[in-house]
Amino acid sequence: MKKLFSLFAAVLFAGSMMAAEKAVENVFNSTTMGKGISGYDQTWTNTSGTTLTLVNFNNNNKGWSLVKCGSKKNPSVGTITTASALAEKITRVEVTVDAFTSGKVNDFYLLVSSASAFTTADTVRLAIAQGVNKFNIASEKQAENLYYRLVVDCAKGTSNGLVTISKVDFYYDFVTTNPTISVASNTVDLGTVYVAKDQTATIKHTLTIEGLNLTNGIDFETSANLTFNPNTLPAAGGDVEVTISDVPAGDFSVSFMLTSEIGGGAQATNEVTLTGTVAEIDMFDSFEALVEADVANQTSVQVTFEGIEIDSIYVNNYNSNRQGIYFTVDGTAYEIYFKQDNVPAAWVAGGKVSGSIIGTWTYYTNGAIWELVPAAGFKWADLTYVAPSATAISNTAVEAKAVKSLENGMLVIENAGKKYNVMGQIIK
């Protein structure tokens, strides 16, 4: 089987347990700020990833998406403290400093304590820098249910707002059990798809995906010939329609990766392969066109037709199964014959049938009649049937039931006590 497309990605996750990293992220904006502050000497709260208590920080009456501390009136100490203990075991705290006045920051440190009053605390100090400042907490000092306080000790400045902070994030490790992306089968055989000669196929398949213990959504890698709708799924999974376009005749195999970020640069992944065959076939937009083309016996064809009128129903003389319908094209009788499924009981002579059938155009030698034999899997119910009007039924001399047999090497159709040849002529 030749390879048509293949999208490969490294499998970055394996095993039943995986440590990953997450953060309790805290930003500052008009929505998260508890109240508007216009000075550098007040206490207020900000609720984003968690609730923080800020002392001696200004938010310009909620007009900034950041906070500032440091006053030109006198030395000051600005603090940002978790209002409650964090349940997670924090490994580091990252503080984004957008700007600071050089020489005006006396001290810049993090306190970690089991007490909300910080009566005893461990201290992590840094030299303040513009950008992300990372306060790494020693592993032996890490624990669940601790309080954290950032301290910014500022000298008196020549202007207000000596230090600007836009984000405070608390990082922790977590273990996820079996974060997996599950599908019913990693290799799906789509069977045979038919196209007109010298054409390429567009193939669609709906794939059901289940996400287990994932924290983020499931993504797909697209290409010019491979698209997904939707192009991402929630962590729990769902259905996605896969479209493979411009597939030439022959066998095909298309592989693609399902991925979900699980933290720390790791991914849960799963590879799915769709296989099948694209077969060229003669296509006709009516039975008239098929008959006129004079195609060879045993030719695979697809016929799309509208409103062919049923002349009679073929009923097997041995088991009474309704196995075909007769119809006429330009005065000649033809049959759609499929014995694996019964013609619906409601279908009668005079009714009209529309639809599309893939099958084999076959010459039935004994009966001297051309038949379209649908491919396996066909159902009569796949076609559209319109019953004849009451007037048409009352004017129909022949019942919608026929028995086909051979007499003296000739196909004979017996219906309502009369015998007909394949041309519909009464045999005397």
DSSP string across 182-220: EES-SEEEEEEEEEETT--EEEEEEEEEEEES-SS-EEE
Q: How confident is the model at residue 215 (pLDDT cuts 50, 70, 90)?
A: confident
Give the residue among 366, 353, 363, 359 at the shortest CA–CA distance from 404. 366
Taking the C-alpha atoms of residue 116 and residue 113, their distance in angstroms, rounded to an integer, is 7
- 38 or 428, which is more confident? 38
**Token pair belonging to 247:** 């597939």
Mean pLDDT, all residues of the chain? 87
Res. 410: pLDDT tops 60: no
Taking the C-alpha atoms of residue 86 and residue 101, their distance in angstroms, rounded to an integer, is 31
Q: What is the mean pLDDT of residues 225-247?
A: 94
Give the start-end residues of each E strand in 114-162. Answer: 122-125, 131-136, 147-154
Q: How confident is the model at residue 213 (pLDDT cuts 50, 70, 90)?
A: confident
pLDDT tens for 47-95 read 999 999 999 999 999 999 999 999 999 999 999 999 999 999 999 999 9
Say if CB 123 and CB 110 are below 8 A apart: yes
Counts for the chain of helices (H) and strands (E), in that order: 2, 32
Say if CB 261 and CB 267 are below 8 A apart: yes
pTM summary value: 0.47
pLDDT tens for 266-277 read 888 999 999 999
Res. 12: pLDDT tops 80: no
Domain-by-domain residue ranges, the chain?
A: 5-16+178-279, 19-176, 285-420
pLDDT tens for 149-178 read 999 999 999 999 999 999 999 999 876 567
pLDDT at 370: 94
Taking the C-alpha atoms of residue 356 and residue 302, their distance in angstroms, rounded to an integer, is 7
Q: Which of 159-173, 204-218, 399-413 has the weakest average pLDDT?
A: 399-413
pLDDT tens for 103-150 read 999 999 999 999 999 999 999 999 999 999 999 999 999 999 999 999
**Token pair belonging to 401:** 């039931």
Q: How confident is the model at residue 2 (pLDDT cuts 50, 70, 90)?
A: very low
Its CATH architecture, for the domain 5-16+178-279, is Sandwich (2.60)
pLDDT tens for 305-317 read 999 999 999 998 8
- 10 or 191, which is more confident? 191
Q: Which CATH code of 2.40.30.10, 1.10.260.40, 2.60.120.260, 1.10.357.10 fits the domain covering 19-176? A: 2.60.120.260
Around 268, how many Cα atoms within 13 Å sit in the side-chain half-sphere? 27
pLDDT at 91: 96
Res. 403: pLDDT tops 80: no
Say if CB 270 and CB 183 are below 8 A apart: yes
pLDDT at 267: 87
pLDDT tens for 263-304 read 767 888 999 999 999 998 999 999 999 999 999 999 999 999
**Token pair belonging to 152:** 């910014």
Same fold for the pair 5-16+178-279 and 19-176: no
Say if CB 28 and CB 44 are below 8 A apart: no
Q: Which of 25-29, 194-198, 358-362 has the weakest average pLDDT?
A: 194-198
Q: What is the mean pLDDT of residues 372-387?
A: 93
